Amino acid sequence: MQTNFTPEQLKDSGIQRADEILRTCVHCGFCTATCPTYQLLGDELDSPRGRIYLIKDMLENDRRADEKTVKHVDRCLSCLSCMSTCPSGVHYMHLVDLAREHIEKTYKRPIFDRGLRWVLSQILPYPARFRAAIIGAWAAKPFRFALPAKLKAMVDFAPAKLPTPSPTDAAQVFPAKGKTVRRVALLTGCAQKALNTDINEATIRLLTRHGCEVVIAKGMGCCGAVTHHMGKTDASHRSAAANIKAWMAANVDTVVINTSGCGTTVKDYGHMFRDDELAQDAAKISEMTRDISELMEELGLQQAGVSPMKVAYHAACSLQHGQQIKDAPKNLLRAAGFTVLEPSDPHLCCGSAGTYNLMQPELAQQLGARKIKTLEVLEPEIIAAGNIGCMMQIGAGTGVPIVHTVELLDWATGGPKPPALTENR
């Protein structure tokens, strides 16, 4: 694709990156075949190729974002399926993130949307606030009929119950069982700590059992993904910078993440901080970051075994497309003794996509229903996934118990049976 950025514009590293990405695109349209919103809506502007044209025009002309561009960029899930499909290697993620930053700086949204986005940015990255918001949603349920669609989605998203805070949340070190082979920092997440404490507890048991000293670093918090994907760069960089400093101070050799949406962002810290004084440390953190399935594949799963159970594996978009991790979780589940079932079209997004199911509820509901159908037709005993957002989205629409992959690996190597399986049986 030909571009016409001026020499002055190209002094900005973001525009330089946009220019590189745009010049890679050859207009082939392969991306439309796997784009969830294009499949649902059939609108070229709701495909990656269409959005690329809109973003190019906006950035090249250095103009304020308009309603049309905002509408179609907002509808993008950032599932990144297009990046897996693209034969030219177009790095759509960096381009759409830059577009969202430009939109946030130049476009004045309607007051309700502005308020909703501000509320989400002030609640989701903070577990205590998130818990309080869920309790507030419970109180609002009797009045659901009178709420706007997006507030209804927020009320509907609230789980029926909340776990008590886990003792693993606090800054501390969990020693390895036997010989120490790794010293790892675990990102405990933000929404995950409020919604499901079983995941981090299972992760710590699994890692210590496999010779890892697990550090919950002091000063660590939200990875910054929520605000990053809203274009709120200052807020996302504050969160990310705190993590970079906390993990560097912890003197670890690996950062392990069990929420794949967070992992995609942390692995991009090097790019996010390319012009910052933390650039070197950020790049180092990105390089040492591993999804839990990656790390377990490196360590090798201990002798494992449970009663053979049929597990439908849901490949989170942020894992299979954002991080290009496709086989490790399935291989580990098979090694643990499970029969792994895969949907015929595993690239399909479930519609969670961070805050997407709250800000685009109608599209998210359609995507969720489609995903659940592809999993239930397999007649599994369990659904496994590697991302809390996907687990919430799918779990809300199916009676099949859904657990994190790490919970099954923990169970198979000597840990307790996942509580979600006990509750559903």
Using only C-alpha atoms, the chain has a radius of gyration, in whole angstroms, of 21
* pLDDT (0 to 100) of residue 196: 94
CATH 3.40.50.1860 fits 303-423, yes or no: yes
CA distance 222 to 188: 9
Is residue 257 helix, strand or coil?
A: strand
What token pair was written down for 66?
């308009």
Model confidence pLDDT, tens digit, residues 249-272: 999 999 999 999 999 999 999 999
Sequential DSSP letters for 143-171: GGGGS-HHHHHHHHHS-S--PPPPGGGSS
Confidence of residue 148 (pLDDT cuts 50, 70, 90): confident
CATH fold of 9-106: Fumarate Reductase Iron-sulfur Protein; Chain B, domain 2 (1.10.1060)
Would the CATH topology of 9-106 be identical to that of 303-423? no
Q: Is the pLDDT of residue 392 over 50?
A: yes
Confidence of residue 335 (pLDDT cuts 50, 70, 90): very high
Long-range contacts of 201-204 (CB under 8 A, 24+ apart): 201/166, 201/168, 202/404, 202/406, 202/407, 202/409, 202/410, 202/411, 202/415, 202/418, 203/256, 203/258, 203/292, 203/406, 203/410, 204/168, 204/174
Mean pLDDT of the region 114-133:
93
CA atoms within 13 A on the CB side of 192: 30
Spans of all domains in the chain = 9-106, 113-157, 167-296, 303-423
Options 1.25.40, 1.10.3470, 3.40.50, 1.10.287; CATH for 167-296 is 3.40.50
Q: Report pTM.
A: 0.93
